[in-house]
Structure 1
């Protein structure tokens, strides 16, 4: 009996396939080719297995089987199927054949693989691009790519578990992020941070879950996986076309076929609208771009959605623009918001200080959590998580946690381990359950601040103002140090005397 395909088998084959593009194009680009090919191989194998099932069911009646396939998850035209492209691998125009196959796959699945304005998920990628080399080199690379992927059997009956395709996709995105350097932060939130945010904002049954800057959707998927049950709906928006395409594919590979992932600039043109207002959500999570310049201030002074009623953020720092959008997108009275921010958001003054003051006065801020440095791809700076709660009611306190020293050093980035995440989450859950009184909760780790304290600190949220992590230096015993110096000087004199003796012997 043929052994089941495991996640590590897929990871190994696909990661080796990356060698086709190494040194040819930027790592932040070749992920698109690899992940598109993985998606194509998957939908082709699923289609083939299902078609075989129908042929058996209808005693070999291909016409009936073909009709039945029109109602399946994906329709795969014959020229879009991976096997057709593999059989065509020696053709002189193989790049063009792949592009045509992808376009036809899009057209046959318009509702699933195109945005509301008709943009397809493959429109930003071309396997016939001159970026892959001259014609001879390009054809050789694409042939190698097809030969690598033909080794993968992704038919559902041969997979060890229903989640392994999604798990492999996440593994690959994480590894591409490691290679992509500064650009990685545009499409990937580290797994530990995603898990932490998802657990801090754990969604209840029936929740609408939303990420307005969803990247490749790893954070949104984690929020779904941490939800109370499988009764939820997913929504996301992403400005970068290539990254939006990855998010759509990621959702399908994880089995979230009904997710609504839209393409566009969330601040300038939010796509999740109900009537003339922003759609509302139970849970809103995001890792927006840090301190985004030119985020659209000039165009949004008179924002029709009234997202900036607490103040307009500065032109060169978009952090509070994203936060304001998230807060306004959460249901009144119940909505939760979790967002990753640079530390400057906690204490910068002027317009940001005024917005921060209003948010705190409106009793929306639940928790401020300081994270370790070097967790994120593309930047070594430490970040923080802010939790906003539109259902705090009479509770006016805010929890501060300094988790900056709680991590394990990784090869390229530091990592949060399950025990680090659990400690933060348990502290926050105790706070939500009113088990923590104002003041120090745990020395050098957590503190509950009253509204009056925040007011006295002029609404500055800099964590060291609340969590004292100062370590006193050990007292120096001057007498002992002097004795040690005296001993060392005597030993040095003895060695110098011996050296002089050796030198005199050498002179003879």
Structure 2
């Protein structure tokens, strides 16, 4: 069995990212990225836990080599348990024999069974023995190559080599981002661009001790950003992350992502947030949070309208969202889960949420009259994977500084990319500074009174409040006339010159 030796040679984040991304070549041209991402990400997870376990085992063996029973006891205190037969290296050693898919599945289930508190059901939607990878021989060959890719020295992921846990977590995020950029429309189901996650996390300003929730958490990137902010600012892990995700394979990504980032104080549930919310306080009421952040699916058609009127949590008492547009269903759910005193939320929405009428207009009016809406931010187009349309971020608070709503038009501040636009740090900081100052800025932001908003029929379309029109410079008509006369004289001179040339050539 080939196990890498302990190495003090450090490795950069870019090196790990490049090595993991090149491992995807095994699947390219054979399997669609939307399918093979689950296999690559899961293999990264398996390789990481195997290397960390081996690293710690070697360390204990060096210390307590004469007392094997003590080594066993020490390993019981690790964050996770790795059964010997489930190690990446046990699988790698058998890679040339038939049954790679079945062996990998058995290894994952053994890891799950040994770590039920942290990994229960995580691998139930992922099967390496699936016919999605082709017939038995093709599948066995693909998985042999995948095991060999991850056994390369560049992907020795021992802690003694990579230094910090986040190096692996970051590689995982890197992969998810790259899959999102190549997976088309489906990418939005599991990934929010990092700069948008960063903006939302900074807007809600997570503190030590906060309970933070994302009811449509995807792969967990928004939650991780919030947690990272607390650690950076307070040097503390005293916070809790909560999430719910409807798609099984994406829920599994979130669970593995939390594990790889060392976020043990989390609770990520699998299920439909609107039809079957799982984050409850007892059986009768929704759990409340200091922070609620989300990038819900835009204008979801089948969101659960049929059962909404009889919702046992009264989430839709302000009105029923339209049957074929679920944006306000998610917004109202988030509002209901904010803590009465400290609750604040940030949510990404399509612009239609700001101005569509009928039921949505009535819901919007109630949220404004209850003084819950704090900031409306218009973002640039082409920021999100799978859609070119511009989006907005709404910030709502249970306890506001005043009764006004700040409108920010940040749609023109970005760095243009070939396929995706990007918010730069300066663009983010400008938004955050104005949001903190709550001041009007010409052609960028406007602090609107309740009377202004009511006068606009509670339409929140940003151009109604932020005038981005720039007057053109006044035209000097006399100067234009002089320039026109000069051009006419020049044209006449050229006509005479052309006639002379034609005569020389014998044309009259």
Q: For 1:5-84, list aligned pairs within 5 A.
A: 5-84=11-90
> Hey, what does 1:465 align to over in structure 2?
464
Within the alignment, does 1:286 sit opposite 2:291 as a pair?
no
Runs of 4+ in structure 1 off by over 3 angstroms are 60-64, 473-508
Q: For 1:92-491, list aligned pairs within 5 A.
A: 92-114=98-120, 120-151=121-152, 152-227=155-230, 228-229=233-234, 230=236, 231-275=238-282, 276-392=284-400, 395-431=402-438, 436=439, 441-488=440-487, 491=490
SS at structure 2 position matched to 1:163: helix
Structure 1 residue 505 displacement after superposition: 6.5
Unaligned residue ranges in structure 2 (runs of 5+): 1-6
C-alpha RMSD of matched pairs (Å): 1.9
Structure 1 residue 504 displacement after superposition: 6.7
In structure 1, C-alpha distance between the alignment counterparts of 2:51 and 2:32, rounded to whole Å:
29
**TM-score w.r.t. structure 2 length?**
0.93
In structure 1, C-alpha distance between the alignment counterparts of 2:46 and 2:144, rounded to whole Å:
15
Structure 1 residue 451 displacement after superposition: 1.2
Check conservation: 2:239, 2:265, Cα contact below 8 A: no
In structure 2, C-alpha distance between the alignment counterparts of 1:54 and 1:340, rounded to whole Å:
48
45-54 or 360-369, which moves further after superposition? Answer: 45-54
In structure 1, C-alpha distance between the alignment counterparts of 2:183 and 2:483, rounded to whole Å:
52
SS at structure 2 position matched to 1:442: coil
> Hey, what does 2:3 align to over in structure 1?
none
Check conservation: 1:31, 1:176, Cα contact below 8 A: yes
In structure 2, C-alpha distance between the alignment counterparts of 1:249 and 1:305, rounded to whole Å:
31
In structure 2, C-alpha distance between the alignment counterparts of 1:498 and 1:61, rounded to whole Å:
105
Structure 1 residue 181 displacement after superposition: 1.4
Structure 1 residue 403 displacement after superposition: 0.7
In structure 1, C-alpha distance between the alignment counterparts of 2:370 and 2:342, rounded to whole Å:
14
Structure 1 residue 97 displacement after superposition: 1.1
Structure 1 residue 496 displacement after superposition: 6.0
Superposed CA offset, 1:302-327 (max 9, x none) = 10011111111001111110000001
- Alignment coverage as a number of residue pairs: 494
Structure 1 residue 450 displacement after superposition: 1.1
In structure 2, C-alpha distance between the alignment counterparts of 1:501 and 1:248, rounded to whole Å:
84
Structure 1 residue 50 displacement after superposition: 1.5
